[in-house]
A and B are shown apart, each in its own frame.
Chain A
Amino acid sequence: MSGDILSKFAGALASGAVRVVDLTHTLSPDFPVIVMPPELGQSAPFRMERISRYDGGGPAWYWNNLSFGEHTGTHFDAPIHWYTGRDLPLNSVDTLPPADMIAPACVIDCSRQASEDADFLLTVSDVMKWEEQYGRIPARSWALLRTDWSKKSGTAYANLTADGAHTPGPDAEVMRWLVAERDIIGFGTETIGTDAGQAGHFSPPYPAHHYLHGAGRYGLQCLTNLDQLPPTGAMIVAAPLKIQNGSGSPLRVLALVQERSTG
């Protein structure tokens, strides 16, 4: 039977009935990285050094050495990333159950609110309104917050002022609720973190991290092209690098979308 499903899936891919959307930013040295207070440890940015390019270092081949922090570019947060998930089983990227790497997505479009207010916060009532239209979020789905923030770059993307970053995200209650009441597998954003820019002042601080990882759920951030996804029905493939005891990693995030015309 599985052969049938996968061969149908292969056919749908070939025919274009299932479209593959790349939700990933290009990993490049100038993509903003989260900045911590200077007395704390900092994430290394993405850097690439050439080993050879058909030259004396390697006459017929081109390759590079890479260095980067686990949380650079479009990246995945594993439960071990936050203290609340520190003692859970299978909490690092290498022990992550492979089945969790493929899951359906609900895309909650808040792009209008985010364009009006950089500090926009997603609330339970926003999600309930969304559910009135598209139905209850199925268990073990990704909740993806669409803000169109990915269309910004550089200074506007990081949006740092004297009191920290101003970027949209979830409030504390909605994160508790999405995990406890909707059993989401994870939460994804277009911004530099799963939490809002000012979330350090929330209670608890950084509620997306606090609740997601405390319950063994995942985070995806720096996503792009969420505007190409339907509110429901997309299937997300998010497989982080298998880094021993890793807390996260840059990754390629793909969404499989069934074209409406092919029903």
Chain B
Amino acid sequence: MTGPFLKPKRKNPLARTTQPLLPPQARSRKAHGLTLAAATGRFVLQCCGECGRYTYPAREACPNCLSSDLTFRDAPTGGSLLSETQIEVTSDPYFREHMPWRTGLVQLDCGPIVIVHLHGGCGGPGSQLKLSLQLDRAGQAVFFAKPVLEVPHMEDDPQWREMTADPRHRRVLITDGRSPLALPMAQALKKAGAARIFVGVADRWKPLDQQALLAAIEGVEFVDLDLTSERSVQELAMDIGAKVEILVNTADHVRPAHLFDAGAANAAREAMDHTVMGLMRLAQAFGPVMRSRGADGAAGAVAWVNVLSVHGLSNVPQFGVHSAAHAACLSLSQWLRTELRPGGIRVINAFTGPLDTEWFQTVPPPKVAPKAVADAVLDGLKRGLEDIYVGDVAKDIEARLFDNPKAVEREAGQ
């Protein structure tokens, strides 16, 4: 059974910070079909297009009919536990630091036998289980089995916490307190048990709309942070870099400009400075220290969240500059993901459609409420996702991009 995850004690400054290690990373290329699903919280298995049987582990031919028409398809998540063990000894350095480790053998309701990470709340052999695909600290897909019914402190299971980025007892930096996302994000983080919420604000002398509401949240602390200033970002990292376990980058800069406008380049440069270069400055200042703290206790550094426009995936002319800037942010985030991987830090991109805010005033609904973005980010952190599509517009574009990216391009702006 799982006990509650209690607030970790203050770290002993004389003790060495445990260095992050990663679970085994090698996978066949085929196995990354599961990675794709785990990144978005889906549950898939290879399914034979000819005989219809599900199969696992990932392979190139159906063992039933030898068809090579094996595609990853959504699969039912139920299964029953056949056997289990608690591993106490391993030669793998990562697992060695997490012993004992509970694993099980599960027969999925759809057929295949799967070795899984087993939640502490699961019953013994014969129990019914609900499986999910998770990204482990190495960013690789693994099966995780939980009890079908909720058990106390379910989210606090130490093995589950390795698969997620739960904000509980963690300290979070929200980079742009002026973003309409800041308040709902801070509220949601507080509700999820974040220990401290640093809210970055540029130009503190300017009025801050939601100052009082933000300040009313226990644990919120305003800090000077101007993403357009390398010095500002660096200075904040010198003060609190080693205290940020989750970084939520809410920076955005939406200014409409037509490509052929005389001033479009300036608008683009400004947007890039706020978003792309802002992300780069954050990465340079906070990336190294977060990466070094990936195993710093049970509530060490764990996630970096970028809120991105779904139009970064495919340009829309009404917000051409914005789309281009977020495309660059997406590329940069992939780079950052690789650089943070050795620390076991997951980089989460939350792709959102137009927010229901002043800069998207002219966009017809459906639009995304800032609270919906905050809730989706929290859900993503607690489930350990990597790609989150927030709202109907983003989900629609996601589905269409997977289906036919060229059609999305042709239909843009129509």
Please list the residues of chain A having a beta carbon within 8 angstroms of any beta carbon in chain B. Answer: 35-39, 83-84, 160, 162-165, 200-201, 203-205, 210
Pairwise interchain contact A36-B13, C-beta atoms closer than 8 A: yes
Alpha-carbon distance between A32 and B238 when the two chains are bound, in angstroms: 26
Alpha-carbon distance between A99 and B12 when the two chains are bound, in angstroms: 41
Alpha-carbon distance between A201 and B17 when the two chains are bound, in angstroms: 17
Q: Which residues of B contact A36 (CB under 8 A)?
A: 13
Q: Closest CB-CB distance, A83 to chain B, in whole Å?
A: 5
Alpha-carbon distance between A83 and B238 when the two chains are bound, in angstroms: 8
13 contacts between A and B (CB under 8 A): A37-B13, A37-B14, A38-B16, A162-B12, A163-B10, A163-B11, A164-B10, A164-B13, A164-B14, A200-B13, A205-B239, A205-B240, A210-B239
Contacting B10 at CB < 8 Å: which of A38, A201, A210?
Answer: A201
With most chain A CB atoms within 10 A of its CB, the pick from B16, B235, B239 is: B239
CB-based A-B contact count at 8 angstroms: 38
Nearest CB in chain B to that of A83: its residue: B238
Pairwise interchain contact B239-A38, C-beta atoms closer than 8 A: no
With most chain B CB atoms within 10 A of its CB, the pick from A37, A200, A210 is: A37
Q: Closest CB-CB distance, A17 to chain B, in whole Å?
A: 47
Q: Closest CB-CB distance, A166 to chain B, in whole Å?
A: 11
Question: Which 7 A-B pairs have CB atoms at the shortest separation, nearest pair first?
Answer: A163-B10, A164-B13, A38-B16, A162-B12, A83-B238, A37-B13, A204-B239
Pairwise interchain contact A163-B238, C-beta atoms closer than 8 A: no
Does B9 reach chain A (CB closer than 8 Å)? yes
Alpha-carbon distance between A165 and B10 when the two chains are bound, in angstroms: 11
Give the number of chain B interface residues (Cβ < 8 Å). 16
Does B262 reach chain A (CB closer than 8 Å)? no
Q: Given A39-B17, A83-B235, A205-B239, output 16 extra A-B contacts at Cβ < 8 Å.
A: A36-B13, A37-B13, A37-B14, A37-B17, A38-B15, A38-B16, A39-B292, A83-B238, A162-B9, A163-B9, A163-B11, A163-B12, A203-B221, A204-B239, A205-B240, A205-B243
Q: Which residues of A contact B235 (CB under 8 A)?
A: 83-84
Interface code B1-31, partner A: CB below 8 Å = 1, 0 otherwise? Answer: 0000000011111111100000000000000
Nearest CB in chain A to that of B236: its residue: A204
Please list the residues of chain B having a beta carbon within 8 angstroms of any beta carbon in chain A. Answer: 9-17, 221, 235, 238-240, 243, 292
Pairwise interchain contact A160-B240, C-beta atoms closer than 8 A: no
Q: Which residues of A contact B292 (CB under 8 A)?
A: 39
Q: Which residues of B contact A204 (CB under 8 A)?
A: 239
Alpha-carbon distance between A4 and B238 when the two chains are bound, in angstroms: 51
Q: Closest CB-CB distance, A98 to chain B, in whole Å?
A: 30
Q: Closest CB-CB distance, B218 to chain A, in whole Å?
A: 14
Q: Which residues of B contact A165 (CB under 8 A)?
A: 13
Pairwise interchain contact B221-A35, C-beta atoms closer than 8 A: no
Pairwise interchain contact B12-A39, C-beta atoms closer than 8 A: no
Q: Which residues of B contact A162 (CB under 8 A)?
A: 9, 12
Alpha-carbon distance between A200 and B9 when the two chains are bound, in angstroms: 14
Alpha-carbon distance between A4 and B76 when the two chains are bound, in angstroms: 98
Alpha-carbon distance between A200 and B240 when the two chains are bound, in angstroms: 10
Q: Which residues of A contact B13 (CB under 8 A)?
A: 35-37, 164-165, 200
Nearest CB in chain A to that of B238: its residue: A83
Alpha-carbon distance between A187 and B178 when the two chains are bound, in angstroms: 36
With most chain B CB atoms within 10 A of its CB, the pick from A38, A83, A204 is: A204
Nearest CB in chain B to that of A203: its residue: B221
Contacting A160 at CB < 8 Å: which of B9, B11, B14?
Answer: B14
Alpha-carbon distance between A203 and B199 when the two chains are bound, in angstroms: 13
Nearest CB in chain B to that of A160: its residue: B14
Q: Which residues of B contact A35 (CB under 8 A)?
A: 13-14
Alpha-carbon distance between A83 and B235 when the two chains are bound, in angstroms: 8
Nearest CB in chain B to that of A82: its residue: B238
Alpha-carbon distance between A35 and B239 when the two chains are bound, in angstroms: 19
Nearest CB in chain A to that of B224: its residue: A204
Nearest CB in chain B to that of A162: its residue: B12
Q: Which residues of A contact B16 (CB under 8 A)?
A: 37-39
Q: Which residues of A contact B17 (CB under 8 A)?
A: 37, 39
With most chain A CB atoms within 10 A of its CB, the pick from B9, B13, B16 is: B13
Nearest CB in chain A to that of B240: its residue: A205
Q: Which residues of A contact B15 (CB under 8 A)?
A: 37-38
Pairwise interchain contact B240-A38, C-beta atoms closer than 8 A: no
Q: Which residues of B contact A203 (CB under 8 A)?
A: 221
Q: Which residues of B contact A160 (CB under 8 A)?
A: 14
Q: Which residues of B contact A83 (CB under 8 A)?
A: 235, 238
Q: Closest CB-CB distance, A39 to chain B, in whole Å?
A: 6
